[in-house]
């Protein structure tokens, strides 16, 4: 009686595993294992510096003194969808202030508040980045588009 059920259950388990390997994400959270390993317990001082992304995108996180932290971008994508990974999209240069959005002990997340960004004219852009580790280096990244498909913008 149990003979035919076992092969079917095994086949279903293989399909589930294969699906998670193809997307780079596990079936539990749809984002775990997708992109760099997240980092918790990061401070602003850990993040100062320059980060480079696809198609010449550049992000500079700086400190002006005290608790005021600023950023500037060059060739920053005017869009936030997965297309920014594979094709050249319209870009802009800008600046603003940034801050850590996570509570202590949670995975690091950086919020970018652009000065004078007219979202109706420019469209949506990437304004939140996660903090991660890749090859022993701190990187910033954003998961783009459908959470069932692993597409990650990484700035290193």
pTM of the model: 0.74
Q: Which of 44-53, 79-88, 89-98, 114-123 has the lowest mean pLDDT?
A: 114-123
Q: Which of 9-18, 111-120, 129-138 has the lowest mean pLDDT?
A: 9-18
Give percent above pLDDT 70 in the chain.
74
52-58 long-range contacts, CB within 8 A, separation 24+: 52/155, 52/156, 53/153, 53/154, 53/155, 54/84, 54/85, 54/153, 55/84, 55/88, 55/89, 55/91, 56/91, 57/91, 57/155
- Residue pLDDT, tens place only, 97-133: 999 999 888 999 999 999 987 655 445 899 999 999 9
């Amino acid at each position: 009686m149990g003979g035919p059920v076992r092969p079917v259950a095994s086949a279903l388990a293989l399909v589930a595993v294969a699906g998670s390997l193809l997307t780079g994400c596990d079936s539990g959270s749809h984002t775990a294992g997708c992109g760099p390993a997240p980092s918790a317990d990061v401070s602003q001082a850990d993040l100062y510096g320059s980060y480079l992304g696809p198609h010449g995108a550049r992000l500079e996180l700086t400190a002006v003194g005290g608790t005021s932290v600023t950023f500037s971008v060059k060739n920053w994508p005017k869009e936030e969808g997965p297309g920014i990974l594979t094709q050249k999209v319209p870009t802009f240069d800008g600046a603003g202030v940034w801050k850590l959005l996570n509570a202590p002990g949670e995975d690091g997340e950086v919020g970018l508040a652009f000065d004078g960004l007219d979202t109706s004219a420019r469209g949506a852009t990437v304004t939140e980045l996660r903090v991660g580790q890749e090859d022993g280096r701190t990187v910033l990244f954003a998961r783009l588009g459908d959470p069932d498909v692993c597409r990650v913008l990484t700035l290193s």
